[in-house]
Amino acid sequence: MIPEQVEVELPAMTEGQEILDDLALARQIQSGMVPQTLPNINGLAMAALFNPCRAVGGDLYDIIQLSPDLLAFYIFDVSGHGVSAALISAMAKVSFATHFQASNSPETVLARVNADVAKYISRNFYITAFAAVLDLHSNRLTYCNAGHVYPLLWRRPEKTFSPLKTPGLLLGVFEEGRYENRHVHLQPGDWFFLYTDGLFGLFSDNNETAGRAHFETFIGGNNFEDPQKFIDECRSLCQRHMNQTQLDDISAIAVEVQTQSRRNRLKVDLGFKMSDPVYLQFLSYYEEIDEAAGNILRDMDDQGYSDDTIRKMKLAITELLANAICHGNKEDHSKKVTIGHLIDCEAIVLSVLDEGEGFDPSLIPDPTLPENLVRDHGRGIYIVRNYVDELKFNKRGNCATALKYRADQRARE
């Protein structure tokens, strides 16, 4: 027998209660978008703060490990406050996450996020943002700004501050924004801070210039053990301001560079000394060869090498990297190729290390012999030997080191 259905009349919910419930749900959703844990990276200490001025806010940040060697940071601030800003920040975070999966260039990511915001969001809103990618082996930080309050680099051993500035338009104002990558090499003991401008309100009410000055004094005057201690103190300041009106959302990330042990181990594997100022790069795909080679060729140009030498090195670099991906790693893209270079005014030293089993270079056939003309192996190494002054391999055969002297230096010798 089916029981008789009885309609139960629930008490009507007031409009005010509905709004409160909606805000509580929105806060719960936004809290889920804030990273609950940060990547655990050997050699880095990191901590972060998220403190909206209302139930929900327009600030968000994230730290994404793009690969074992690349770590992406971004932070942004949506104009306005409340639910509308929170909705836009949610869309922006999805956009950032999507484009960082496709590119590790901050300027490219900001340009693509700008296009998304300009397309889908009313011009009544805009976003300021800062994005950066840290190469975990070279400690090279590539960064780009989109109208955001500039982050600070604190050289703790020297007790100096440097702003991380680049030109860049606000996101969502123009369909085609202009953004520019810049670079800085970090050293053990360096800290860098990303934040939204609401942080300055903890140090000076409604005065960004004074707030920044007091913020720098706060950092320099406290011997914080690690970034978590710094963030804990900022959180305490937020608590002290609870009885006052917090006018803006507050978000912050603090990062400390602790060690270069991973980098030093790789330098030794590549045949360099730990003390050598080697620039390291990592790749797994053929499509990444041009960018890696371009970094080396630009350093050669900066040192005044001739166009002919640069051209020959481009061919040699391309062959070495292609061989490492194809023959060394067997096109297994889960494995990486490490390339390290050291360039001065006299010579270029370039080493390429793959994760393959290695080989015996003496067994490579001579591609100039008639019987080897149609064979696949040997041509790349033959080209490299003809374009560099020295080419040698480690005992295992998975690391090739090429040496190229400056042409006028060889003439003097």
Q: CA 197: distance to chain centroid?
A: 22
Q: Which of 51-55, 107-111, 114-118, 274-278 has the highest mean pLDDT?
A: 107-111
pLDDT at site 6: 43
Q: How many CB atoms lie within 10 A of CB 348?
A: 25
The three-class DSSP label of residue 335 is coil
| 264-412 maps to CATH 3.10.450.50 | no
What tens digit of pLDDT does each residue of 335-358 get?
889 999 999 989 999 999 998 999
Determine which of 104-108, 130-134, 263-267 has the lowest per-residue pLDDT on average.
263-267
pLDDT category, 154, cuts 50, 70, 90? very high
Number of H helices, E strands in the chain: 10, 15
Strand residue runs (E) in 160-283: 160-163, 182-185, 190-195, 250-257, 279-283
Minimum mean pLDDT range among 8-17, 187-196, 389-398: 8-17
Full DSSP string of 388-413: SSEEEE-SSSSEEEEEEE-HHHHHH-
Please provide residue 389's backbone torsions phi and psi, each rounded to the nearest 5 degrees: -85, -30
How large is the average pLDDT for residues 154-175?
91
Rounded CA-CA distance 259/261 in Å is: 6
Q: What is the pLDDT of residue 412?
A: 42
78-95: string of b/e by CB count within 10 Å (b at 16+)? beebbbbbbbbbbbbbeb
pLDDT reported for residue 2: 42
Burial (CB count within 10 angstroms: exposed 0-12, middle 13-18, buried 19+), residue 58: buried
- Tens digits of per-residue pLDDT, 128-144? 999 999 988 778 899 99
All CATH 3.60.40.10 domain ranges in the chain, comma separated: 33-257
Average pLDDT, the chain: 83
User: Within the chain, which residue ranges are assigned CATH 3.30.565.10?
Assistant: 264-412
- pLDDT-based confidence at 247, cuts 50/70/90? low
pLDDT at 365 over 80: no
Please, which pLDDT band fits residue 4 given cuts at 50, 70 and 90? very low
Question: Domain 33-257: which topology?
Answer: Phosphatase 2c; domain 1 (3.60.40)
pLDDT reading at 59 higher than 70? yes
Residue type for 294, please?
G
